[in-house]
Structure 1
Protein backbone atom coordinates (compact mmCIF):
# COMPACT_ATOMS: atom_id res chain seq x y z
CA UNK A 1 0.00 0.00 0.00
CA UNK A 2 1.32 3.43 -0.96
CA UNK A 3 0.95 5.95 1.85
CA UNK A 4 -1.29 8.46 0.05
CA UNK A 5 -2.15 11.75 1.68
CA UNK A 6 -3.41 15.11 0.58
CA UNK A 7 -3.83 18.35 2.50
CA UNK A 8 -6.82 20.60 1.91
CA UNK A 9 -7.15 24.20 3.11
CA UNK A 10 -10.45 26.02 3.50
CA UNK A 11 -10.90 29.01 1.16
CA UNK A 12 -9.17 32.03 2.82
CA UNK A 13 -12.35 34.13 2.76
CA UNK A 14 -14.11 31.45 4.81
CA UNK A 15 -11.38 31.53 7.47
CA UNK A 16 -11.68 35.31 7.73
CA UNK A 17 -15.43 35.14 8.36
CA UNK A 18 -15.15 34.09 12.04
CA UNK A 19 -17.67 31.26 11.73
CA UNK A 20 -18.14 29.33 14.95
CA UNK A 21 -19.92 26.15 15.92
CA UNK A 22 -21.59 25.66 19.25
CA UNK A 23 -20.28 22.14 19.89
CA UNK A 24 -17.27 21.75 17.56
CA UNK A 25 -15.01 24.46 18.90
CA UNK A 26 -12.91 26.51 16.48
CA UNK A 27 -13.00 25.28 12.87
CA UNK A 28 -10.01 23.54 11.33
CA UNK A 29 -8.35 25.68 8.66
CA UNK A 30 -6.76 22.63 7.01
CA UNK A 31 -7.09 18.87 7.04
CA UNK A 32 -4.68 16.21 5.82
CA UNK A 33 -6.63 13.33 4.34
CA UNK A 34 -5.20 9.80 4.48
CA UNK A 35 -6.69 6.35 4.14
CA UNK A 36 -6.88 6.03 7.94
CA UNK A 37 -8.77 9.32 8.17
CA UNK A 38 -11.13 8.17 5.42
CA UNK A 39 -11.82 4.95 7.36
CA UNK A 40 -12.28 6.88 10.65
CA UNK A 41 -13.67 10.12 9.21
CA UNK A 42 -14.53 12.19 12.31
CA UNK A 43 -11.89 14.84 11.48
CA UNK A 44 -12.92 14.93 7.82
CA UNK A 45 -16.59 15.17 8.85
CA UNK A 46 -15.80 18.22 11.02
CA UNK A 47 -13.95 19.88 8.15
CA UNK A 48 -16.76 19.15 5.67
CA UNK A 49 -19.35 20.46 8.17
CA UNK A 50 -17.34 23.69 8.49
CA UNK A 51 -17.14 24.10 4.70
CA UNK A 52 -20.82 23.31 4.16
CA UNK A 53 -21.93 25.70 6.88
CA UNK A 54 -19.61 28.42 5.57
CA UNK A 55 -21.19 28.52 2.14
CA UNK A 56 -24.39 26.55 1.51
CA UNK A 57 -26.05 26.83 4.94
CA UNK A 58 -25.76 30.62 5.07
CA UNK A 59 -25.86 31.43 1.36
CA UNK A 60 -28.58 34.08 1.63
CA UNK A 61 -26.58 35.92 4.29
CA UNK A 62 -23.45 35.65 2.14
CA UNK A 63 -25.23 37.05 -0.93
CA UNK A 64 -26.59 39.94 1.20
CA UNK A 65 -23.04 40.73 2.37
CA UNK A 66 -21.89 40.84 -1.26
CA UNK A 67 -24.92 42.98 -2.18
CA UNK A 68 -23.91 45.58 0.43
CA UNK A 69 -20.30 45.67 -0.78
CA UNK A 70 -21.06 45.74 -4.51
CA UNK A 71 -23.02 48.29 -6.51
CA UNK A 72 -23.54 45.84 -9.36
CA UNK A 73 -25.75 42.86 -8.43
CA UNK A 74 -24.39 40.75 -11.27
CA UNK A 75 -20.82 41.20 -10.00
CA UNK A 76 -21.74 40.26 -6.45
CA UNK A 77 -22.98 36.86 -7.59
CA UNK A 78 -20.00 36.31 -9.86
CA UNK A 79 -17.61 37.31 -7.07
CA UNK A 80 -19.30 35.03 -4.54
CA UNK A 81 -19.20 32.06 -6.93
CA UNK A 82 -15.57 32.58 -7.93
CA UNK A 83 -14.13 33.44 -4.49
CA UNK A 84 -16.23 31.34 -2.14
CA UNK A 85 -18.78 28.87 -3.39
CA UNK A 86 -17.05 27.04 -6.23
CA UNK A 87 -13.68 26.71 -4.42
CA UNK A 88 -15.60 25.37 -1.40
CA UNK A 89 -17.54 22.84 -3.50
CA UNK A 90 -14.34 21.79 -5.26
CA UNK A 91 -12.51 21.07 -1.98
CA UNK A 92 -15.44 19.00 -0.69
CA UNK A 93 -15.66 17.04 -3.93
CA UNK A 94 -11.90 16.43 -3.96
CA UNK A 95 -11.93 15.09 -0.38
CA UNK A 96 -14.77 12.67 -1.15
CA UNK A 97 -13.04 11.59 -4.39
CA UNK A 98 -9.79 10.96 -2.50
CA UNK A 99 -11.59 8.64 -0.06
CA UNK A 100 -13.46 6.97 -2.94
CA UNK A 101 -10.12 6.23 -4.65
CA UNK A 102 -8.72 4.82 -1.39
CA UNK A 103 -11.78 2.56 -1.08
CA UNK A 104 -11.19 1.22 -4.61
CA UNK A 105 -7.52 0.56 -3.80
CA UNK A 106 -8.49 -1.17 -0.54
CA UNK A 107 -10.85 -3.46 -2.45
CA UNK A 108 -8.17 -4.32 -5.03
CA UNK A 109 -5.57 -5.01 -2.30
CA UNK A 110 -7.99 -7.19 -0.32
CA UNK A 111 -9.03 -9.13 -3.42
CA UNK A 112 -5.41 -9.68 -4.34
CA UNK A 113 -4.44 -10.81 -0.86
CA UNK A 114 -7.41 -13.05 -0.06
CA UNK A 115 -8.87 -14.16 -3.37
CA UNK A 116 -5.80 -15.51 -5.15
CA UNK A 117 -6.12 -18.84 -6.91
CA UNK A 118 -3.64 -21.60 -7.63
CA UNK A 119 -0.56 -22.10 -5.49
CA UNK A 120 -1.34 -19.48 -2.84
CA UNK A 121 -4.86 -20.89 -2.32
CA UNK A 122 -3.30 -24.04 -0.83
CA UNK A 123 -1.19 -21.94 1.55
CA UNK A 124 -3.92 -21.41 4.22
CA UNK A 125 -4.45 -25.19 4.46
CA UNK A 126 -0.73 -25.80 5.03
CA UNK A 127 -0.61 -22.86 7.51
CA UNK A 128 -3.59 -24.34 9.37
CA UNK A 129 -1.74 -27.62 9.88
CA UNK A 130 1.35 -25.84 11.22
CA UNK A 131 -0.53 -23.11 13.09
CA UNK A 132 -4.17 -23.89 13.88
CA UNK A 133 -4.84 -20.19 14.63
CA UNK A 134 -3.54 -18.95 11.25
CA UNK A 135 -6.78 -19.63 9.37
CA UNK A 136 -8.83 -17.90 12.07
CA UNK A 137 -6.51 -14.87 12.09
CA UNK A 138 -6.62 -14.73 8.30
CA UNK A 139 -10.44 -14.84 8.34
CA UNK A 140 -10.57 -12.11 11.01
CA UNK A 141 -8.19 -9.92 9.02
CA UNK A 142 -10.27 -10.42 5.88
CA UNK A 143 -13.46 -9.57 7.77
CA UNK A 144 -11.90 -6.41 9.28
CA UNK A 145 -10.67 -5.23 5.87
CA UNK A 146 -14.06 -5.93 4.31
CA UNK A 147 -15.82 -4.06 7.14
CA UNK A 148 -13.51 -1.03 6.69
CA UNK A 149 -14.10 -1.07 2.94
CA UNK A 150 -17.90 -1.37 3.36
CA UNK A 151 -17.99 1.48 5.91
CA UNK A 152 -15.86 3.67 3.66
CA UNK A 153 -17.95 3.04 0.52
CA UNK A 154 -21.10 3.80 2.57
CA UNK A 155 -19.49 7.03 3.83
CA UNK A 156 -18.57 8.07 0.27
CA UNK A 157 -22.09 7.32 -1.04
CA UNK A 158 -23.70 9.21 1.86
CA UNK A 159 -21.48 12.26 1.33
CA UNK A 160 -22.11 12.24 -2.42
CA UNK A 161 -25.86 12.33 -1.61
CA UNK A 162 -25.38 15.20 0.85
CA UNK A 163 -23.40 17.15 -1.76
CA UNK A 164 -26.03 16.52 -4.42
CA UNK A 165 -28.80 17.82 -2.12
CA UNK A 166 -26.79 20.87 -1.00
CA UNK A 167 -25.58 21.90 -4.45
CA UNK A 168 -29.05 21.46 -5.92
CA UNK A 169 -30.66 23.53 -3.12
CA UNK A 170 -27.96 26.19 -3.42
CA UNK A 171 -28.43 26.37 -7.18
CA UNK A 172 -32.14 27.09 -6.57
CA UNK A 173 -31.25 29.98 -4.24
CA UNK A 174 -28.74 31.31 -6.77
CA UNK A 175 -31.42 31.25 -9.48
CA UNK A 176 -33.70 33.30 -7.19
CA UNK A 177 -31.01 35.82 -6.21
CA UNK A 178 -28.69 35.98 -9.22
CA UNK A 179 -29.25 35.05 -12.87
CA UNK A 180 -32.35 32.87 -13.25
CA UNK A 181 -31.30 31.21 -16.51
CA UNK A 182 -27.76 30.21 -15.51
CA UNK A 183 -26.81 26.57 -15.05
CA UNK A 184 -24.67 26.94 -11.93
CA UNK A 185 -23.83 23.25 -11.68
CA UNK A 186 -22.51 23.26 -15.25
CA UNK A 187 -20.53 26.42 -14.43
CA UNK A 188 -19.07 24.61 -11.43
CA UNK A 189 -17.98 21.66 -13.61
CA UNK A 190 -16.21 24.17 -15.90
CA UNK A 191 -14.64 25.89 -12.87
CA UNK A 192 -13.21 22.52 -11.73
CA UNK A 193 -11.82 21.86 -15.22
CA UNK A 194 -10.11 25.25 -15.28
CA UNK A 195 -8.73 24.88 -11.73
CA UNK A 196 -7.61 21.26 -11.65
Structure 2
Protein backbone atom coordinates (compact mmCIF):
# COMPACT_ATOMS: atom_id res chain seq x y z
CA UNK A 1 0.00 0.00 0.00
CA UNK A 2 1.20 3.52 -0.73
CA UNK A 3 2.36 5.80 2.02
CA UNK A 4 0.85 9.25 2.63
CA UNK A 5 2.85 12.23 1.44
CA UNK A 6 4.51 13.89 4.42
CA UNK A 7 4.26 17.65 4.85
CA UNK A 8 7.63 19.34 4.29
CA UNK A 9 9.43 19.46 7.63
CA UNK A 10 9.88 23.21 7.67
CA UNK A 11 7.37 25.45 5.96
CA UNK A 12 8.95 28.84 5.36
CA UNK A 13 8.20 31.75 3.03
CA UNK A 14 11.29 30.73 1.02
CA UNK A 15 9.69 27.33 0.38
CA UNK A 16 6.58 29.06 -1.00
CA UNK A 17 8.46 31.61 -3.10
CA UNK A 18 10.53 28.82 -4.67
CA UNK A 19 7.63 27.96 -6.96
CA UNK A 20 9.49 25.08 -8.62
CA UNK A 21 9.87 23.26 -5.28
CA UNK A 22 6.28 24.06 -4.31
CA UNK A 23 4.90 22.74 -7.62
CA UNK A 24 7.14 19.65 -7.46
CA UNK A 25 5.88 18.81 -3.97
CA UNK A 26 2.23 19.10 -5.06
CA UNK A 27 2.83 17.22 -8.32
CA UNK A 28 4.69 14.34 -6.67
CA UNK A 29 2.10 14.03 -3.93
CA UNK A 30 -0.71 13.85 -6.48
CA UNK A 31 1.22 11.36 -8.62
CA UNK A 32 1.95 8.98 -5.76
CA UNK A 33 -1.62 8.78 -4.45
CA UNK A 34 -4.31 10.37 -6.63
CA UNK A 35 -2.98 9.66 -10.12
CA UNK A 36 -2.45 6.01 -9.23
CA UNK A 37 -5.65 5.58 -7.19
CA UNK A 38 -6.84 2.56 -9.18
CA UNK A 39 -3.53 0.78 -8.61
CA UNK A 40 -3.63 1.67 -4.92
CA UNK A 41 -7.18 0.35 -4.60
CA UNK A 42 -6.33 -2.83 -6.52
CA UNK A 43 -3.53 -3.47 -4.04
CA UNK A 44 -6.11 -3.53 -1.24
CA UNK A 45 -7.81 -6.61 -2.63
CA UNK A 46 -6.00 -9.79 -1.66
CA UNK A 47 -5.78 -12.24 -4.57
CA UNK A 48 -7.89 -15.31 -4.11
CA UNK A 49 -6.03 -18.46 -3.07
CA UNK A 50 -8.97 -20.76 -3.75
CA UNK A 51 -8.72 -20.63 -7.54
CA UNK A 52 -5.10 -20.85 -8.69
CA UNK A 53 -4.02 -19.74 -12.15
CA UNK A 54 -5.18 -22.02 -14.91
CA UNK A 55 -2.64 -22.12 -17.80
CA UNK A 56 -5.31 -23.34 -20.24
CA UNK A 57 -7.11 -20.01 -19.82
CA UNK A 58 -4.51 -18.37 -22.08
CA UNK A 59 -5.14 -20.75 -24.98
CA UNK A 60 -8.46 -19.08 -25.83
CA UNK A 61 -8.37 -15.61 -27.28
CA UNK A 62 -10.63 -13.06 -25.52
CA UNK A 63 -12.27 -15.48 -23.12
CA UNK A 64 -15.10 -14.11 -21.05
CA UNK A 65 -14.00 -13.34 -17.54
CA UNK A 66 -15.15 -15.76 -14.89
CA UNK A 67 -17.31 -14.15 -12.22
CA UNK A 68 -14.48 -14.52 -9.68
CA UNK A 69 -12.28 -12.14 -11.72
CA UNK A 70 -14.80 -9.34 -12.13
CA UNK A 71 -14.13 -6.22 -10.12
CA UNK A 72 -14.87 -6.86 -6.48
CA UNK A 73 -15.97 -4.08 -4.18
CA UNK A 74 -13.40 -3.27 -1.53
CA UNK A 75 -14.69 -4.10 1.97
CA UNK A 76 -15.76 -1.17 4.16
CA UNK A 77 -13.09 -1.70 6.86
CA UNK A 78 -10.28 -1.93 4.30
CA UNK A 79 -11.55 1.17 2.52
CA UNK A 80 -11.78 3.11 5.78
CA UNK A 81 -8.22 2.16 6.73
CA UNK A 82 -6.91 3.26 3.32
CA UNK A 83 -8.79 6.55 3.41
CA UNK A 84 -7.76 7.41 6.98
CA UNK A 85 -4.13 6.29 6.78
CA UNK A 86 -3.15 7.16 3.19
CA UNK A 87 -5.54 9.28 1.13
CA UNK A 88 -6.75 11.83 3.68
CA UNK A 89 -3.31 12.43 5.24
CA UNK A 90 -1.92 13.14 1.73
CA UNK A 91 -4.76 15.55 1.02
CA UNK A 92 -4.24 17.15 4.42
CA UNK A 93 -0.53 17.58 3.76
CA UNK A 94 -1.22 19.36 0.46
CA UNK A 95 -3.97 21.47 2.04
CA UNK A 96 -1.60 22.56 4.81
CA UNK A 97 1.06 23.60 2.30
CA UNK A 98 -1.41 25.47 0.08
CA UNK A 99 -2.99 27.19 3.06
CA UNK A 100 0.38 28.22 4.53
CA UNK A 101 1.60 29.55 1.18
CA UNK A 102 -1.69 31.42 0.67
CA UNK A 103 -1.10 33.20 3.98
CA UNK A 104 2.43 34.06 2.79
CA UNK A 105 1.04 35.39 -0.52
CA UNK A 106 -1.48 37.63 1.26
CA UNK A 107 1.01 39.00 3.82
CA UNK A 108 3.35 41.97 3.31
CA UNK A 109 6.70 40.96 1.86
CA UNK A 110 9.47 43.08 3.41
CA UNK A 111 12.17 40.85 1.88
CA UNK A 112 11.01 41.28 -1.74
CA UNK A 113 14.27 41.51 -3.75
CA UNK A 114 12.58 43.34 -6.67
CA UNK A 115 10.75 45.98 -4.62
CA UNK A 116 13.20 48.85 -5.24
CA UNK A 117 13.49 48.11 -8.96
CA UNK A 118 9.69 47.88 -9.34
CA UNK A 119 9.14 51.18 -7.50
CA UNK A 120 11.79 52.85 -9.67
CA UNK A 121 10.07 51.64 -12.86
CA UNK A 122 6.69 52.87 -11.57
CA UNK A 123 8.16 56.33 -10.85
CA UNK A 124 9.73 56.49 -14.32
CA UNK A 125 6.40 55.52 -15.88
CA UNK A 126 4.56 58.21 -13.90
CA UNK A 127 7.04 60.90 -15.10
CA UNK A 128 6.97 59.83 -18.75
CA UNK A 129 5.14 61.99 -21.28
CA UNK A 130 2.96 59.95 -23.59
CA UNK A 131 1.65 61.18 -26.92
CA UNK A 132 -0.41 58.35 -28.38
CA UNK A 133 -1.07 60.37 -31.57
CA UNK A 134 2.58 60.07 -32.49
CA UNK A 135 3.08 56.56 -31.19
CA UNK A 136 -0.05 54.55 -30.33
CA UNK A 137 2.04 52.02 -28.42
CA UNK A 138 3.79 54.55 -26.18
CA UNK A 139 0.99 54.41 -23.60
CA UNK A 140 1.58 50.74 -22.91
CA UNK A 141 3.10 49.92 -19.58
CA UNK A 142 3.17 46.47 -18.06
CA UNK A 143 4.24 46.71 -14.43
CA UNK A 144 6.06 43.73 -13.00
CA UNK A 145 4.08 41.76 -10.49
CA UNK A 146 5.35 41.41 -6.96
CA UNK A 147 6.38 37.88 -6.06
CA UNK A 148 3.43 37.68 -3.64
CA UNK A 149 1.06 38.36 -6.58
CA UNK A 150 2.79 35.68 -8.66
CA UNK A 151 2.52 33.23 -5.76
CA UNK A 152 -1.17 34.06 -5.26
CA UNK A 153 -1.87 33.38 -8.96
CA UNK A 154 -0.02 30.05 -8.77
CA UNK A 155 -1.98 29.05 -5.66
CA UNK A 156 -5.31 29.90 -7.30
CA UNK A 157 -4.37 27.49 -10.11
CA UNK A 158 -3.21 24.82 -7.66
CA UNK A 159 -6.45 25.10 -5.66
CA UNK A 160 -8.45 24.55 -8.85
CA UNK A 161 -6.26 21.56 -9.81
CA UNK A 162 -6.59 20.14 -6.30
CA UNK A 163 -10.38 20.31 -6.45
CA UNK A 164 -10.46 18.56 -9.84
CA UNK A 165 -8.00 15.86 -8.72
CA UNK A 166 -9.92 15.17 -5.50
CA UNK A 167 -13.26 14.98 -7.30
CA UNK A 168 -11.86 12.48 -9.81
CA UNK A 169 -10.14 10.43 -7.10
CA UNK A 170 -13.25 10.37 -4.95
CA UNK A 171 -15.35 9.23 -7.90
CA UNK A 172 -13.09 6.19 -8.32
CA UNK A 173 -13.06 5.52 -4.55
CA UNK A 174 -16.87 5.74 -4.35
CA UNK A 175 -17.17 3.39 -7.32
CA UNK A 176 -14.82 0.77 -5.88
CA UNK A 177 -15.34 0.93 -2.11
CA UNK A 178 -18.23 -0.24 0.03
CA UNK A 179 -19.66 2.29 2.45
CA UNK A 180 -18.48 5.43 0.64
CA UNK A 181 -21.55 7.50 -0.08
CA UNK A 182 -20.77 11.11 0.88
CA UNK A 183 -18.92 13.80 -1.05
CA UNK A 184 -15.16 14.07 -0.66
CA UNK A 185 -15.57 17.44 1.05
CA UNK A 186 -17.85 15.98 3.74
CA UNK A 187 -15.70 12.89 4.27
CA UNK A 188 -12.45 14.89 4.41
CA UNK A 189 -13.92 17.51 6.79
CA UNK A 190 -15.25 14.75 9.06
CA UNK A 191 -11.81 13.08 9.12
CA UNK A 192 -10.07 16.40 9.90
CA UNK A 193 -12.55 17.10 12.70
CA UNK A 194 -11.92 13.67 14.22
CA UNK A 195 -8.15 14.29 14.03
CA UNK A 196 -8.57 17.66 15.80
CA UNK A 197 -10.64 16.08 18.57
CA UNK A 198 -8.09 13.31 19.10
CA UNK A 199 -5.24 15.80 19.68
Under a length normalisation based on structure 1, what TM-score does the superposition of the two structures give? 0.63
1:1-196 alignment to 2 at 5 Å? 13-14=3-4, 30=8, 32-68=10-46, 73-106=75-108, 139-140=119-120, 146-178=145-177, 179=179, 181-196=181-196
**Root-mean-square deviation over aligned CA pairs:** 3.2
CA distance in 2, matches of 1:82, 1:141: 52
Unmatched tracts of structure 1, length 5 or more: 1-11, 16-27, 111-135
Cα gap change, 1:14 to 1:194, in 2 (>3 Å) = closer
Count of paired positions: 146
Quote how far apart the aligned CAs of 1:13 are.
2.2
Larger radius of gyration: 2
Decide which structure has greater helix share.
1
Quote how far apart the aligned CAs of 1:148 are.
0.6
Cα gap change, 1:79 to 1:149, in 2 (>3 Å) = same
Under a length normalisation based on structure 2, what TM-score does the superposition of the two structures give? 0.62
Unmatched tracts of structure 2, length 5 or more: 49-72, 123-142
